[in-house]
Chains A and B, each alone.
Chain A
């Protein structure tokens, strides 16, 4: 069977039936900027950072299935400018005061800002005032940094089998909620070892007593660009997939370690 092909920025990329444009691109080591996508979880389509032009139409690469002959533009100045604007929107919508954030240097949102050369937030700040939940003995939740990517929601539901998180409310009033009787993290089933406790790409879900441990200069994105780390993650997943017998490998040592 001859491989089916799409073209990304002029490069031919093979794909298999059922793969999205994002799947095919990552498998071919082509970086499409993304925040709400994580291989192994169902696609979400909320951050819009993966917006690409397919035959002249703007679409989300993480949700659109690859189809024979698609001509895709990805790494263009125009698209990266749009992505920068989207990133600025995410920054002003929350309280991203990176100088005091434990996730600085390890934050994917911040790294995307660097990748796109973002210098400022451009828009007026929203300065939201959402509740911090520090009820849990080992975890805490700073909702003002949440970008509503629902990675924690999906990780808890699809991998941990717990359904700890959800997004509630409408419009700018949306926020992350905890599915427990009291709405508190302490009264949910979440445990420190859960994927949902570690998957947050920003500083919204934090492990208590573990901040500022890595020296500046040695943090994830001091050493690698977001493009490198996101592609590396896929390479890890490829190795992990050979080891299907041991289910724990994927969760502990594989794509989600870091």
Chain B
């Protein structure tokens, strides 16, 4: 209740943005923060719901959701669905969210091969056993891009996307324009 009350107190309601990292490396969030002091200007127009940069545990109804990372386990799928249900606009950020990215290289192996290598066969493993606790989300047999599970509205490519690309796409959306990336901000690596 209190966050929405605060919003009503402002003259112009702020645009609500939620962000999350699924099977990501947090590099896209770092690149987002690479906008440096420009984030001060952004915060005049934007307030954050659930995000790794605050303590909010669940995604509230939002205007924009930024998703970093692919889907690699069951929890990723739940979080992604929560974001889709609450965000008017969902943006796949970075190579992992868009096509699975480097984590999808594990799709060249079976899940059993990956777990055995990491927890049983790897050098230096003592008490070899594959973790098996209900607290731990089960891995999916393959890594998937997010658009294979929910509808995605926009894509921000790059590994990670440049800070300028975050500024551009958010500025376009705040101004009510269709987001577009200039050629010099478009790369997949």
Give the B-binding residues of A (Cβ under 8 A): 91-92, 95-101, 104-105, 110, 113-114, 117, 119-122, 124-125, 127, 129, 144, 225
Q: How far is the CA of A121 from the CA of B148 in the complex (A)?
A: 11
Encoded as 1 (CB less than 8 Å from any A CB) or 0, chain B from 92 to 109 comes to: 100100111110110110
Q: Is the CB of A98 within 8 A of B95?
A: yes
How large, as a class, is the contact surface on chain B? 20 to 34
Closest to A114 in B: B186
Q: How far is the CA of A211 from the CA of B157 in the complex (A)?
A: 23
Q: Which residues of A contact B92 (CB under 8 A)?
A: 120
Encoded as 1 (CB less than 8 Å from any A CB) or 0, chain B from 140 to 158 comes to: 0010110110001011110
Q: A127 and B102 in contact (CB under 8 A), knowing A104-B188, A114-B183?
A: no
Task: Tally inter-chain residue pairs, CB-CB below 8 A.
Answer: 74
- Which of B142, B183, B189 has the most chain A CB atoms closer than 10 A to its own CB? B189
Q: How far is the CA of A2 from the CA of B66 in the complex (A)?
A: 60
Q: A99 and B157 in contact (CB under 8 A), knowing A105-B189, A127-B100?
A: no
Question: Residue B58 at the A interface, CB < 8 A?
Answer: no
Q: Which residues of B contact A122 (CB under 8 A)?
A: 147
Q: Which residues of B contact A92 (CB under 8 A)?
A: 99
Q: Which residues of B contact A120 (CB under 8 A)?
A: 92, 98-99, 147, 152, 155, 157
Q: How far is the CA of A218 from the CA of B150 in the complex (A)?
A: 37
Q: Is the CB of A125 within 8 A of B99?
A: yes
Add 14 more A-B contacts to A98-B159, A110-B188, A121-B99 (CB < 8 A).
A95-B105, A97-B99, A97-B104, A98-B188, A99-B101, A99-B102, A100-B105, A104-B189, A110-B189, A117-B183, A120-B155, A125-B148, A127-B107, A129-B107
CB distance from B157 to the nearest CB of A (A): 6
Q: Is the CB of A121 within 8 A of B98?
A: yes
Q: Is the CB of B144 within 8 A of A125?
A: yes
Can you list 14 residue pairs at the A/B interface with Cβ under 8 Å? A97-B99, A98-B95, A99-B102, A99-B188, A113-B188, A114-B183, A114-B187, A120-B98, A125-B144, A125-B145, A125-B148, A127-B142, A129-B108, A225-B183
Q: Is the CB of A119 within 8 A of B95?
A: no
Q: Which residues of B contact A117 (CB under 8 A)?
A: 181, 183, 186
Q: How far is the CA of A114 from the CA of B99 in the complex (A)?
A: 16
Q: How far is the CA of A246 from the CA of B144 in the complex (A)?
A: 53
Q: A97 and B100 in contact (CB under 8 A), knowing A120-B147, A120-B155, A120-B157?
A: yes
Q: A119 and B99 in contact (CB under 8 A), knowing A99-B189, A129-B108?
A: no
Q: How far is the CA of A119 from the CA of B100 in the complex (A)?
A: 14
CB distance from B18 to the nearest CB of A (A): 21
| Chain B stretch 162-188: residues in CB contact (< 8 A) with chain A | 181, 183, 186-188
Q: Is the CB of A97 within 8 A of B105?
A: yes
Q: Which residues of B contact A129 (CB under 8 A)?
A: 107-108
- Which of B98, B105, B188, B189 has the most chain A CB atoms closer than 10 A to its own CB? B188
Q: Which residues of A contact B107 (CB under 8 A)?
A: 95, 127, 129
